[in-house]
Amino acid sequence: MTSSNPIVDALDAAGYRLTGPRRAVADLIAGYDGHFTAAELEAAAREHRVGVSRATLFRALELLTELHVVERLDLPGGEHAYVPCVRAHHHHLVCSRCGRVAEVEDCGLAEIVAEIARRSGYRIESHRLELFGLCRHCQAKAAPGA
Amino acid sequence: MTSSNPIVDALDAAGYRLTGPRRAVADLIAGYDGHFTAAELEAAAREHRVGVSRATLFRALELLTELHVVERLDLPGGEHAYVPCVRAHHHHLVCSRCGRVAEVEDCGLAEIVAEIARRSGYRIESHRLELFGLCRHCQAKAAPGA
DNA sequence: CTGACTATTGAGACCTGATCTCGACAAGCA
DNA sequence: TGCTTGTCGAGATCAGGTCTCAATAGTCAG
């Protein structure tokens, strides 16, 4: 497990230095398969004995967001979370129970956006769709009898 | 202009007391036709000589959000803004230049959401679509020659 | 391998947005 | 009018995030 870590690769490809803290943060993030908050990441770093200062953590997060390997998400409650993800344009489907995040491609949304643009007269430059619900797992757990 | 203010009405209808500060905040909000941040609202209150404390401002905002006469918006930059709006389910189209907000009904999105649910296996409970772009006004200003 | 250059880091101050506490106050009702 | 209780204000406090600046460490030329 030297680092077939795609996050590290992205950093490298973009010409950033591959420093210890950055690798550590990248590894930490790669371990998530759902979203995480900055606070959780911080706690995880502490737990894993990775000495990464808060500032560095946020700097890494910012960097990775810029590189689109991480995205910032706004949960319904108003909290901020981050999700590791791929570069292409897509949307997020968040399990409101366990936090697992599925990526959703754009299936048909573009047309709707175009239609909205036509009706409103706005020139639409970007959009963001966030979906919240229960993943299969949590549905099963929520309704064991049904 | 005693108060045909729909925000005040909503408060009343929901059984909340119609206090001075709440009316003041409602009036302030009614004056916006785009989004506003909490800080802007605070400044406006100060400017209009309405003595409303920060806590009260936030409490009112929270209340109104609950009543769906105001919604909280997450701007692309990560800032929070609030928009006065109607109760029905809809989405927001925000002018990234002037902040004007248009409400967009659900034209066709429901089908897409259903399709996503089918594909992913998630039971989707809510969604949020935010669109960012240039309103007609700002398009004109941005490209006067073209 | 070494040194130098410069990006990056850490520690902690600081800032902004928002919430909480608690005594004082006032809206609404009898 | 007087009570009851929801609401308010002031300010402490919290959370999330950013900034500063000296120290450190990648990276690359030699």
pLDDT value of residue A109: 87
Which residues interact with strand D by a CB < 7 Å criterion? A 17-20, 37-39, 54-55, 58, 62, 72, 79-80; B 16-17, 19, 21-22, 51-56, 59-60, 78
Q: Output the CA torsion sign for A9, A101, A137, A108.
A: negative
Greater model confidence, A4 or A100: A100
DSSP A7-74: HHHHHHHTT----HHHHHHHHHHHT-SB-B-HHHHHHHHHHTT----HHHHHHHHHHHHHTTSEEEEE
Q: Which of the 8 DSSP states describes residue B112?
A: H
Domains of chain A (ranges; CATH) run 1-87 (1.10.10.10), 88-146 (3.30.1490.190)
Angle at A33 between CA A28 and CA A35, to 5 degrees: 85
Q: Which B positions 102-131 lie with beta carbon below 8 A of chain A?
A: 102, 104, 107-109, 111-113, 115-117, 119-131
Q: Which among A109, A116, A128 is the nearest to B112, CB-wise? A: A109
Cβ contacts of A22 within 8 Å, gap of 6 or more: A8, A11, A16, A60, A63
pLDDT value of residue A76: 78
pLDDT value of residue A21: 94
CA-to-C1' span, B20 to C2 (A) = 74
Q: Which of A89, A86, A82, A79 is nearest to A58 (CA)?
A: A82
- Which nucleotides in chain C lie less than 7 Å from some protein C-beta? 7-13, 16-21, 26-28
3-state DSSP percent of chain B in helix, strand and coil, to 5: 40, 25, 35
CA-to-C1' span, A10 to C21 (A) = 48
Cβ contacts of B19 within 8 Å, gap of 6 or more: none
Distances from the Cα of B74 to the Cαs of A47, A128, B80, B135, B142, in angstroms? 31, 10, 5, 18, 24
List of chain B residues with pLDDT < 50: 1-3
pLDDT value of residue B100: 83
